[in-house]
Amino acid sequence: MEAFNKKSVAVIAKNAEWSFLYARDVLHAPFPLGEAAISRNSCYSFAYALNVLKAPFPLGEDAIARSAEWSCKYAKNVLKAPWPEGEAAIAKDAGYSYIYAKEVLKKPWPEGEVAIATKASCSYFYATEVLEAPFKLGEKLIAKSPAYYKIYKKLFPRPTFFTY
């Protein structure tokens, strides 16, 4: 007896989560009938590409590109390369802008710096791990964080926010 009849599969195919799980855990292969549902969800589009296709999922890229988190993870873990289509969303998020610069681009990313500068931790790590130089845009927030500021001023003795 078949575990899933045609009617059950048709119901599964209408739901992104169920379609992804069916492909990953039951079929251990792509599930073309469920790809339309999967493609409307950024999280499941990323997961389907990473865990089922083990390759890009073009049908889901519009949904992925609307999310900073999934765009960054898609570029890093699936494409293993920069992904311009997701950069607009990534550039709005401090944490994912920093991660994208550090782990995907492996170089400074001016497009994400305004967002990065909104968080002391991201500013500090962007300066120390990406720029390896002072990050003027983020220094005011770094200065308000005693833990980061103490180390930052040792690494960069003459921060640009100081007047001598």
State the Cα–Cα distance between residues 90 and 113, nearest whole angstrom. 11
The answer to whether residues 100 and 75 touch, using CB atoms and an 8 Å cutoff, is: yes
Burial (0-12, 13-18, 19+ Cβ within 10 Å), 97: buried
Question: In this structure, are 70 and 59 located in the same domain?
Answer: no
pLDDT per residue as tens, the chain (164 positions): 356 899 999 999 999 999 999 999 999 999 999 999 999 999 999 999 999 999 999 999 999 999 999 999 999 999 999 999 999 999 999 999 999 999 999 999 999 999 999 999 999 999 999 999 999 999 999 999 999 999 999 999 875 555 53
Question: In this structure, are 60 and 75 located in the same domain?
Answer: no
Question: In this structure, are 108 and 160 located in the same domain?
Answer: yes
Single out the residue in 16, 44, 64 at which a domain terminates: 64
Question: In this structure, are 58 and 80 located in the same domain?
Answer: no
Question: In this structure, are 109 and 159 located in the same domain?
Answer: yes
Single out the residue in 64, 87, 107 at which a domain terminates: 64
DSSP assignment letter at 157: S
Question: In this structure, are 59 and 115 located in the same domain?
Answer: no
Number of domains in the chain: 2
State the Cα–Cα distance between residues 13 and 38, nearest whole angstrom. 9
pTM of the full structure:
0.92
- Owning domain of residue 128: 66-164
Single out the residue in 45, 64, 83 at which a domain terminates: 64
Question: In this structure, are 49 and 114 located in the same domain?
Answer: no
Query: Sign of the C-alpha dihedral, residues 132, 137, 140, 145?
Result: negative
Structure tokens at 60: 């889901």
Question: In this structure, are 15 and 85 located in the same domain?
Answer: no
